[in-house]
Amino acid sequence: MKRLLTVIILACWLLPTAAQEVAIKKWADAEIIHKAPLEQAHVGICIYEPATGKYWYQYQDDKFFTPASNTKIFALYAGMKLLGDSLPAVRYYENDTALFVKGMGDPSFLHPDYAYQPLLQLLQQTKKKIYLVPVANANKRYGPGWAWNDYADDYQPELSEWPMYGNLVHIRHHQDSNIIIPSLYNLDAITDDTLREFITERDERNNYFYLKYNPRSSAVQTAAIPFITGSILDLRERLEDTLHRHIGLAVTAPKGVFRILRSIPVDSLFIPMMQESDNFFAEQTLMMSSAMLWDSISTARIISYLLARDLKVLPHPPQWEDGSGLSRYNLFTPRDFVTVLTLLQQQYSTQRLWYILPTGGKGTLRNYYPQQFIHAKTGTLNGIVALSGYLVTKKNKTLVFSVLVNNHHESATSVRKAIEKLLTAIWKDY
């Protein structure tokens, strides 16, 4: 009798769930998957409820996709796991006469968005000689699979062990006044009275910057262009230009215990990384994580470390190449994203995750989800649209989801609208 009662209770609990899965599948297949703009695309969807351990909807969620900026979810996991409460600015060691400093990849140094500059204060206030100590850096200036011809676009700054100014020159033009920061770089200005907006360019292989502007325009115009970071000698030149003092080079690190100088709180970096999809911050997050563990920088090594340990639970081991998702070599499944998002929810407070991730009307979701029922990361490359995160239904059920679309031949906006239609229906009905 007890066994029969248990079976009845279990059936009563499972039947609504099964009916719900069937209803969602039937509607999604008819209204989303097999209609434009998704009908000719490669689509993967996974919707999961952690509270019950049930998948509400699965469509090709074990297939591999290029996820674009959804890759930043994995960079966020690495940063939250390994960086602590604040970013590591540098490792430093002082003796009676000198200050020795080693870069750790902190992208906030002299970044215009961050007023708090403890490293700058340390370098400006010391009366001792300053020496740069080389850092073992296995990374190249670009990630694997990046587009080389985006070298002058502000969303793809070069990677380095000691970023300055976000590794961007910042140009401000107003009438006949042209300002470039850092000031050691030259800016050649050319007038053209046919232009509606000013144009900025950089030589492909050199730090030569150009500005074309209409002299009749009175508008204040600004631009940011990546500079070539170069070697440690170029870094020294930038530091000397900023500090107005000589910087030495240490051939080898001195014998002594290096301490870590901390800079800004980590979430003040994670928020623009996720809400505005800042590629540079995501890449440097993996580099800082590597520097924290080994006093050397290697994105490939930190990725291998995480996949072998904290992320060994992923159902489909991914091909993970960078932190930002700029690489088209990245391959993940929707179920991988649902898994890492579930881990984040288990290990960190919902309040913190909601604060970091975009929601409707904000950041990269500013034109979507006005009801603000999702907290999710977007992803976009040519032919690729992705969205992964959390959905809170009208009945207050928290779901984890991932929608990855590759090889679509429609507008990105139409694909985003189709995904919005799917997730809004689930929010309303359940």
pLDDT tens column, 274-315 = 999 999 999 999 999 999 999 999 999 999 999 999 999 999
DSSP letters, 128-141, are SEEEE----B---S
Q: Examine the pLDDT at 359 and tell me if it is beyond 90.
A: yes
What is the distance, to the nearest Å, from the Cα of residue 96 to the centroid of all Cα atoms in its chain? 41
Q: Choose among 84, 70, 69: nearest CA to 291.
A: 84
Asked whether residue 14 is assigned to any structural domain, the reply reads no
- Residues ≥6 apart with Cβ < 8 Å to 208: 186, 188, 202
| Percent helix, strand and coil across the chain, each to the nearest 5 | 35, 25, 40
Distance CA 105, CA 284 (A): 6
Do 186 and 136 share a structural domain? Answer: yes
50 and 101 housed in the same domain: no
Alpha-carbon distance 367 to 364, whole Å?
8
Q: Please count the residues of the chain.
A: 430
Mention every residue, 6+ apart, whose C-beta is less than 8 A from residue 284.
Answer: 105, 106, 107, 159, 163, 323
Boundary (domain end) residue, out of 208, 229, 264: 264
Please identify, among 211, 232, 264, the residue that sits at the C-terminal boundary of a domain.
264
Q: What whole-number distance in Å separates Cα of residue 177 and Cα of residue 171?
A: 10
The DSSP H or E segment spanning 279 is: helix 279-294
Tens digits of residue pLDDT in 390-418: 999 999 999 999 999 999 999 999 999 99
Q: Where does a domain end: 227, 244, 264? A: 264
The rounded mean pLDDT for the chain is: 94
Q: How many domains does the chain have?
A: 2
Please state the pTM of the whole predicted model. Answer: 0.93
Judged on CB neighbours under 10 Å (0-12, 13-18, 19+), 187 is middle
Asked whether residue 366 falls in the same domain as residue 238, the answer is no
Instruction: Give the per-residue pLDDT at 21.
Output: 79
**Do both 68 and 111 map to the same domain?**
no
CATH number of residue 407's parent domain: 3.40.710.10
Mean pLDDT across 185-206: 91
Range of the domain at 36: 21-80+273-429
Residues 143/305/58/354 CA torsion (nearest 10 deg): -80
With a pLDDT cut of 90, the percent of the chain lying above it is 85
Beta bridge partners of 81: none
Confidence of residue 242 (pLDDT cuts 50, 70, 90): very high
The per-residue pLDDT for 18 is 67
pLDDT at residue 138 greater than cutoff 60: yes
